[in-house]
Structure 1
Amino acid sequence: MRIEFRIKNPSAKISLLFFAIVLASCNTLKRVDDNELLLMKNTIYADEDKVRNEDIQSLIIQNPNSTLLGYPLRLNLYNLAKQNPDSSFQNWLYKKEKRKGRLVKLLSEKQVGRLGESFLVKGMSEWLKNIGEPPTIIDTSDSRRTLERLKAYYSTKGYFNNNTTYVVDTLKRPKRAEIDYKITLGKPYMIDTISDRISSKVVDSIYQLNKAQSLIKIGQQFDLTNFDNERQRLTSIFRNSGIRNFQESSINYAITRDSTKAGDDQDMAIDLNIDNLRLRSNNDMTTSEYKIETFKKINIYTDYLHNGEDEEFNTVEYKGYTIHYKDKLGLNPKTLTDAIFFEKDSIYRELNRSRTYRQITNLNVFKYPSIAFETDTTRTGLTANIYLTEKPKYQLGMDLDVSHSNIQQVGLTFSPSLQARNLFKGAENLSLTGRLNVGSSNDQSITATDNRFFNLLEFGADINLTFPRIWFPFVNTGKLIPNYTLPKTRLSLGTSFQKNIGLDKQTLNSILGYNWSPNDHKKHTVELLNIQFVNNVNPDRFFYVYESTYESLDEIADSYDDATEYPELANDFETSDNSDDPELVIPDGANDFINAIINGTVSSTSDDYDNVRSIKERRDRLTENNLIFSTNYSFNKNNRNGITDNSFHRFRWKVESAGNLLSALSYVVPFNEDDDGDLLVFSVPYSQYIKTEFDYIKYWDLSRSNVLAFRSFFGIAVPYGNSDNIPFVRSYFAGGSNDNRAWNPYSLGPGKSDETNDFNEANLKLALNLEYRFPVVGDIKGALFADAGNIWNVFDNEDDPDKTFNGIDSLTDIALGTGFGIRYDFTYFLIRVDLGFKTYNPAEENSKRWFRDYNFANSVLQIGINYPF
């Protein structure tokens, strides 16, 4: 017997929800005693103005319990735990006189003891306490300490006469209160005069040259941050001007406030003092004047072992460097010295030290280097000792990956690799990687001939050779792209073969590219040649792979399956065992039907003709072989400082041009043409287009691990010359776990079309994403997101107005998906599960676009690794 309980009255549902909220609210105060107050909110006021600055808010010692969308989830989880589970268990055990005896007879004395330590009795409470959060009970001592912090902070901003107080504001709801921190700032102190006293003549001369750029100026409001930044600026200048051992602690500021002046006079005098070098020897402190140090000798040890033993080395002199090695020198001296930015007879610069570390590491030949300095008796002659330890010349690796896609139910990928370092003694690194993928598909066209579980196969290999310099024939690029930018040249060749995957593509890729990074926040990449050849081995499988396209064609053909009326199509249909409806035979029947309609062999309506022609164009485009001969440049810039920085932006721009070199060559060497007049190379029409992309990402740290992330993307690829469309591998699609999550990959667009193709793509894309990320419990994070965007056709051979971009009016075709997600953070990577809802669907009628499919039945579950942007 099954009993169903349903609430048909909406008001009843609302009442039930309200009742649940009331119960949750009661649970919030479970651990708050009658004489205690639960802290609900902190507010800071400076001269009656509310302070929203996160840095100032962080000075508050006591903060309210964290909330999840306004609900104190962690607090209520904590309240669910038993405060003293051991005592509770003992009270329960002895509450009835014979209970323990019965349990001992049933289990044993030892098992009853273990019962008290079990997860249900004790472990669950401990777990709830660990992931939960105890109630924040207002402690006035913490409030007074917060006032001290606020007073000190505003003093650093020049408000030395500020006054602070706090008020505990009890709320109408019981046992709850808010705290208002109030600061009366007063007048800020302003810098009136600046003087300097510098002990070292060398330091003084350098300071005078850079004095005009000082961050501390007359007439400026006092701000201690400016003094800290000025110390760092001066220290960097001195250390990059030859004073290697300059100490930041040598810079001191004497700040004088004249209390004899009128009370409203808030001027102050600043006296800069830079003392001499302080040295400690045998617990005695001595001072010595700073001096500029010049390199007299630079030693490079290429086979150094940190075992503390003296070793004998052979030496070679090369352009002012002394290279020490043991059996033989394994690296070209020029390659080695190009990575060292110290030069003999040049002054010491801290920047060159950082660049040397960075470039040696970039060679990928040595382990992290060690650099030590020695001075002579005059303390002006400097010896640099650079100790290097080689990495293993050869290294083997193996990766295993498990995947799932709309083609494979499950896939296993094995990737063995071999890396060879310093191949030609110029820090050239060679890597050889193989790929073997076996997968399982339930595609009927495959299982009919191959009933094995693993019936998909893909294999291939890639070979990459990198040089730590820009290699360009007959051109010296060293002045344009100096060594400190970590220049690299990459040569790569790769191929792959597929069996029973799609159209069984065979691909060949070859790249000659360069990249360099002026600093940690900028990177330039140029692929001078990027050649890709795609060969579709089994184009006759098109209607098996693109099932929705076949269904659309077969639906049209239903009007022409009468053998008496259309005898020329009699052999194009077959009737399956479980259906009386004749279907087009794949591939011959489907292809014959298309040709009959297009050639006029069979009379058709104009709508049927247009639809069949569209299917033919799609089939021809997706089954044609592609030769892409392109050049591209990309620029990446970001200002992120470490993985914990959640306030940063990132920008990427890429431009790509394909086919122009071959087009120019065709004027010198005549190429063959196909029936459409397209030029052929190796019997394949080469692609010609221009493509550009803009990608911008911005993060805002909203405090307490709450982050707001935004991404905008725009991309367009315009075919011309030898092409009237973009190759499938270079086109855009919409939907998926890293795009608009309310749609599956390739299922959105183009435009407002309601295509049900398996792979919808186009050559113009606009995407906007906004995501609010917040902690939930422990390593579990939550997210609310809104994804907007679409794809369109533009400047190509598509003429369907529903699929093309036709100006500003087409922006109404932008789809909107919203939803929520859960993430589990494993520190090194993150697993993400998102549920997207179609909020605005441009494929619907105008009156039905908003919230038509906004329900769980039409939601889309997306699973991904790491954040989508």
Structure 2
Amino acid sequence: MRSLHFKYYYLFINLALVMALSGCSNTKYLNEGELLYVGGDIEVNGAETSRGDRKRIAENMETLLRPKPNTSFLGLRPKLYFYNIAGDSVGTKGFRHWLKYKMGEPPVLFSQVDLDYNAELIKGYAENKGYFNASSSADSTAKNKKATAEYTVELGSPYIYKEVDFPKDSIPVTAAIANTREKSLLKVGEPYDLDVIKAERVRIDANLKETGYYYFNPDYLLAKVDSTAGEKEVSLKMVLKEETPVEAKETYRINNIYIFPDYSLAEDSLIPSPPVGNKFGDYTIVDPKEKFKPKMFERTLLFEKGELYNRTDHNKSINRLVNLGTFKFVKNQFKVSDSATNLLDTYYYLTPLPKKSIRLELLGKTNSANYAGSEINLSWTNRNAFKGAEELRISAHGGFEVQVAGLNQGYNIYRIGTEATLTWPRLITPFQTPSNSAFVPRTRATLAYEFQARTKLYSLNSFNTSFGYLWKENLRKEHRLNVMDITFVNPFNVTELYEEQIALNPNLGRIIEEQLIFGPTYTFTYTNTMATAKTHTFYFQGGLDLAGNITGLLTGANIDSGDPVTIFDVPFSQYVKAETDFRHYMKLNRGLDLASRIIIGAGLPYGNSRELPFVKQFFVGGSNSLRAFRARSVGPGTYNIEVEASSFLPDQSGDLKLELNTELRADLFSIVEGALFVDAGNIWLMNEDPNKPGAEFSKDFIKELAVGAGIGLRFDLQFLILRTDLAFPLRLPHLPKGQRWVFDQIDFGNSSWRQQNFIFNLAIGYPF
């Protein structure tokens, strides 16, 4: 592993050198008289517009300028550098062709820039924002074979709305348009904005779609603007175009509902009109082979015969069918009924996925504790187990981890296990639980077993079973409630060697304790990270784990009054555990993002337990945590075990956890992304432990944080993100006060320092 550390250390150094060279040598490849275009600057003037608004307008105008300059990072242009060093005679394939046209990009020359066109473009943008008297001019500057375009925009005064009118006649469709006025985006006194007018038309259309106007379209609305209404004022009137077709002015109700749950494209010409199938309530189900229970569609679809068409139920029904996970393609169609012109016959064409499938995965993995290994996973899935879109999945896995260098050579880990999961696309409860969410609620039951053997030390049998519910309120909010979650861990084959180690370090005994954990768990997740256009996006997950609370009350368990209460001769755990994970993502610039995370966790043992069971405790360190420290090696608190070369290193765990991470991510070139990061955190014990001095939580916990920093590369291979991180510690909490910051000891040129401090992490996916 040390050679790997050196390899990647020099890789990062070489990358930095390449990028530095790219900043000073690109222009030498230009022909005589050519200038490299490095971008455009826009100065926006206007005394009646605030400085903040002028800055925002300038930023938006810059996105309109064409062409775009070569991609840059911190003032450097690595893509252009790769294009240049590849040379001219690169052929149609091979490394140099790949380097030039895949990794690189050709120079953007100033001769490609049309200054007058861009000036008119940004002037048009100003006019669309209500600055009807705006003017623009263009110029340029050149230095050292680089040219910058410079634009000046004089805004003048913005025009504002003097009045906003909606249709006033009694025709149903125009009356419906007028009824939406209360929530109009167009406000008297606000500046004229063409984008807001377009959004207003979309808003009105969306409202009409909720009240039966299936064939309406935003293009049927016309905004008439009069700019002579007053001094720097406009009047706006929203009207219905005269050429609007008749069907767009009519409301429609749902008539017959036809479902084809075993549809294929080849059947298009074979479907009779009207379709022939089995009636089930409001539905006609064309399923000759009876692959699906009709009740499933009644629970999934939201339309009912006779109701007014609305887009919400339309979209939710489609989404729910897709969300079942049973159908490969879902297509919906509406046709005007033959029986009446204002009725819609609804058709759902559903193409199933293969009912049964089998999947085999082979994984390679490594971690910062110098363990490397492999894992194989085999899973069999039935997507329609009981004809109601129930998913039955049975899987088996096996794997091993070995330490190729370090303290634990020979203590290899072997795992083998199996799991069965059955998921119903509904909530199975004693109570009626209707749902009109766009996502189908689910009930899930699992049964799992794993055997783990640690060579020369011990073996563990682990059993788990759970029953609970998963449901989403909307795209952003998700809930998971396990009303029953039982874990039983049983150790065996504990060797004399491990018993001897326990005698020297009693904390090792916790790993092989017999454990019985049961109780409800709940997790709430909120995220808006799918809104990629937003500057700020968030992810939050909060979890609550209540173990043995009811049983503890019934049995009167209290560890302080004597031995713990047992069930089947096994003490059951009793605790409350809560954990939150909050992440913030900020777009700083094109291809430059800042990602941050804070994790806070706390566990309170009580009643039948003095401490949390080992599998439920908190850990820090490793490739997805504090990357400058080996996995599970930090804390708790200021505690630091003295480890001899021949001893066995235990995982450090705690009842409390605080972790903070921040990472600057930048697109470098092609599939490569770079990162600079800082991680901080630690764990603590709730109660004092004489075997772990300094581990107890105190008011000085902030002074006990471990801190590390590093750099990384991410390779976007489309099907996965391969991540490499190289990190080193900045602060060591186990050192005496006043000596914990180790900036003065950093020495990148010293091989001994690198061997002791550099931690290389190879992982899949982002750390957060």
> For the superposition of Structure 1 and Structure 2, which TM-score range results when normalised by the shorter chain?
0.7 to 0.9
Please state how far the C-alpha of 1:199 moved relative to its aligned partner: 7.7
Secondary structure of the residue that 2:179 maps to in structure 1? helix
Where does residue 427 of structure 2 map in the other structure?
Answer: 470
Out of 670, 674, 683, which is 1:782 matched to?
A: 674
After superposing the two structures, state which structure 1 stretch, 729-738 or 360-369, moved more. 360-369
Distance 1:234 1:475 in 2: 39
Distance 2:129 2:92 in 1: 55
Please state how far the C-alpha of 1:226 moved relative to its aligned partner: 1.5
Secondary structure of the residue that 2:295 maps to in structure 1? helix
Quick check: 1:662 aligned with 2:551?
A: yes
In 2, are the aligned partners of 1:672 and 1:681 still within 8 Å (CA)?
A: no
Secondary structure of the residue that 2:607 maps to in structure 1? coil
Please state how far the C-alpha of 1:41 moved relative to its aligned partner: 5.1
Where does residue 126 of structure 2 map in the other structure?
Answer: 154
Please state how far the C-alpha of 1:368 moved relative to its aligned partner: 2.3
Q: Map residues 499-518 of structure 1 onto 2, 5 A cutoff.
A: 499-500=453-454, 503-518=458-473
Code of the residue aligned with 1:729 in structure 2: it is V
Code of the residue aligned with 1:806 in structure 2: it is S
Please state how far the C-alpha of 1:810 moved relative to its aligned partner: 1.7
Where does residue 72 of structure 2 map in the other structure?
Answer: 67
What whole-Å deviation, never above 9, does each CA across 1:218-275 have from its counterpart, x for those lacking one? 111111221122122111111111111111211111111118x5xxx11001010123
Please state how far the C-alpha of 1:647 moved relative to its aligned partner: 4.9
Please state how far the C-alpha of 1:208 moved relative to its aligned partner: 3.1
Quick check: 1:321 aligned with 2:283?
A: yes
Distance 2:682 2:356 in 1: 47
Where does residue 12 of structure 2 map in the other structure?
Answer: none
Distance 2:632 2:44 in 1: 53
In 2, are the aligned partners of 1:505 and 1:536 still within 8 Å (CA)?
A: yes
Distance 1:37 1:393 in 2: 61
Q: 1:797 to 1:530 in 2, by over 3 A?
A: farther
Secondary structure of the residue that 1:678 maps to in structure 2? coil
| Coordinate RMSD, CA, aligned | 3.3
In 2, are the aligned partners of 1:409 and 1:440 still within 8 Å (CA)?
A: yes
Distance 1:23 1:242 in 2: 63
Please state how far the C-alpha of 1:140 moved relative to its aligned partner: 7.5
Quick check: 1:865 aligned with 2:757?
A: no
Of structures 1 and 2, the one scoring higher in RCO (CA 8 A, sep 6+) is 2
Q: 1:848 to 1:427 in 2, by over 3 A?
A: closer
Please state how far the C-alpha of 1:406 moved relative to its aligned partner: 7.1
Code of the residue aligned with 1:43 in structure 2: it is D
Where does residue 258 of structure 2 map in the other structure?
Answer: 299
Secondary structure of the residue that 2:277 maps to in structure 1? strand
Secondary structure of the residue that 1:519 maps to in structure 2? coil
Q: 1:406 to 1:230 in 2, by over 3 A?
A: closer
Secondary structure of the residue that 2:157 maps to in structure 1? coil
Distance 1:242 1:305 in 2: 30
Where does residue 827 of structure 1 map in the other structure?
Answer: 718
Out of 628, 632, 651, which is 1:746 matched to?
A: 632
Please state how far the C-alpha of 1:305 moved relative to its aligned partner: 3.1
Code of the residue aligned with 2:240 in structure 1: it is I
Code of the residue aligned with 2:252 in structure 1: it is E
Distance 1:460 1:428 in 2: 23
Code of the residue aligned with 2:262 in structure 1: it is D
Distance 2:92 2:484 in 1: 67
Please state how far the C-alpha of 1:495 moved relative to its aligned partner: 0.5
Secondary structure of the residue that 1:388 maps to in structure 2? strand
In 2, are the aligned partners of 1:198 and 1:275 still within 8 Å (CA)?
A: no
After superposing the two structures, state which structure 1 stretch, 635-644 or 511-520, moved more. 635-644
Quick check: 1:175 aligned with 2:156?
A: no
Out of 220, 226, 229, which is 1:256 matched to?
A: 226
Code of the residue aligned with 1:132 in structure 2: it is G
Query: Where in structure 2 are there 5+ consecutive unaligned residues?
Result: 1-15, 644-648, 749-753
Out of 487, 491, 494, which is 1:536 matched to?
A: 491
Code of the residue aligned with 1:488 in structure 2: it is R
Where does residue 524 of structure 2 map in the other structure?
Answer: 635
In 1, are the aligned partners of 2:131 and 2:155 still within 8 Å (CA)?
A: yes
Please state how far the C-alpha of 1:357 moved relative to its aligned partner: 1.3
Quick check: 1:218 aligned with 2:107?
A: no
In 1, are the aligned partners of 2:591 and 2:666 still within 8 Å (CA)?
A: yes
Distance 1:64 1:782 in 2: 21
Where does residue 366 of structure 1 map in the other structure?
Answer: 327
Code of the residue aligned with 2:322 in structure 1: it is T
Out of 362, 366, 380, which is 1:400 matched to?
A: 362
Please state how far the C-alpha of 1:836 moved relative to its aligned partner: 0.7
Please state how far the C-alpha of 1:161 moved relative to its aligned partner: 1.2
In 2, are the aligned partners of 1:200 and 1:289 still within 8 Å (CA)?
A: no
Please state how far the C-alpha of 1:40 moved relative to its aligned partner: 4.2
Q: Map residues 326-475 of structure 1 onto 2, 5 A cutoff.
A: 326-327=288-289, 329-376=290-337, 378-405=340-367, 410-438=372-400, 457-472=414-429, 474-475=430-431
Where does residue 584 of structure 2 map in the other structure?
Answer: 698
Where does residue 449 of structure 2 map in the other structure?
Answer: 495
Q: 1:461 to 1:853 in 2, by over 3 A?
A: farther
Identical pairs, percent: 28
In 2, are the aligned partners of 1:830 and 1:865 still within 8 Å (CA)?
A: yes
Code of the residue aligned with 2:309 in structure 1: it is Y
Code of the residue aligned with 2:673 in structure 1: it is K
Code of the residue aligned with 2:116 in structure 1: it is R
Quick check: 1:208 aligned with 2:163?
A: no
What whole-Å deviation, never above 9, does each CA across 1:590-633 have from its counterpart, x for those lacking one? 56xx4xxxxxxxxxxxxxxxxx6xx32x1332221111112121
Code of the residue aligned with 2:766 in structure 1: it is Y
Distance 1:55 1:843 in 2: 51
What whole-Å deviation, never above 9, does each CA across 1:483-531 have from its counterpart, x for those lacking one? 6441100011000112335632110011111011122222111111111
Where does residue 686 of structure 1 map in the other structure?
Answer: 572
In 2, are the aligned partners of 1:818 and 1:839 still within 8 Å (CA)?
A: yes
Where does residue 232 of structure 2 map in the other structure?
Answer: 266
Q: Map residues 468-867 of structure 1 onto 2, 5 A cutoff.
A: 468-472=425-429, 474-478=430-434, 481-482=435-436, 484-500=438-454, 503-540=458-495, 544=498, 587=499, 594=503, 615-616=505-506, 618-641=507-530, 647-666=536-555, 676-755=562-641, 757-795=649-687, 797=689, 802-807=694-699, 809-845=700-736, 846-847=738-739, 849-856=741-748, 857=754, 858-867=757-766
Please state how far the C-alpha of 1:446 moved relative to its aligned partner: 11
Secondary structure of the residue that 1:690 maps to in structure 2? strand
Code of the residue aligned with 1:490 in structure 2: it is R
Q: 1:630 to 1:643 in 2, by over 3 A?
A: farther
TM-score relative to the length of structure 2: 0.87
Secondary structure of the residue that 1:217 maps to in structure 2? coil
What whole-Å deviation, never above 9, does each CA across 1:730-761 have from its counterpart, x for those lacking one? 11111111111111111222223333543112
Distance 1:519 1:255 in 2: 38
Please state how far the C-alpha of 1:800 moved relative to its aligned partner: 5.3
In 1, are the aligned partners of 2:20 and 2:76 still within 8 Å (CA)?
A: no
Q: 1:38 to 1:762 in 2, by over 3 A?
A: same
Secondary structure of the residue that 2:328 maps to in structure 1? coil
Please state how far the C-alpha of 1:438 moved relative to its aligned partner: 4.7
Code of the residue aligned with 2:479 in structure 1: it is H
Code of the residue aligned with 1:624 in structure 2: it is E
Distance 1:413 1:276 in 2: 68
Where does residue 96 of structure 2 map in the other structure?
Answer: 124
Q: 1:435 to 1:867 in 2, by over 3 A?
A: same
Distance 2:717 2:552 in 1: 51
Q: 1:727 to 1:711 in 2, by over 3 A?
A: same
Code of the residue aligned with 1:464 in structure 2: it is T
Distance 1:200 1:432 in 2: 63
Distance 2:329 2:243 in 1: 30
Secondary structure of the residue that 1:367 maps to in structure 2? strand
In 2, are the aligned partners of 1:782 and 1:822 still within 8 Å (CA)?
A: yes
Q: Map residues 187-202 of structure 1 onto 2, 5 A cutoff.
A: 187-197=157-167, 201-202=171-172
Secondary structure of the residue that 2:265 maps to in structure 1? coil
Secondary structure of the residue that 1:379 maps to in structure 2? coil
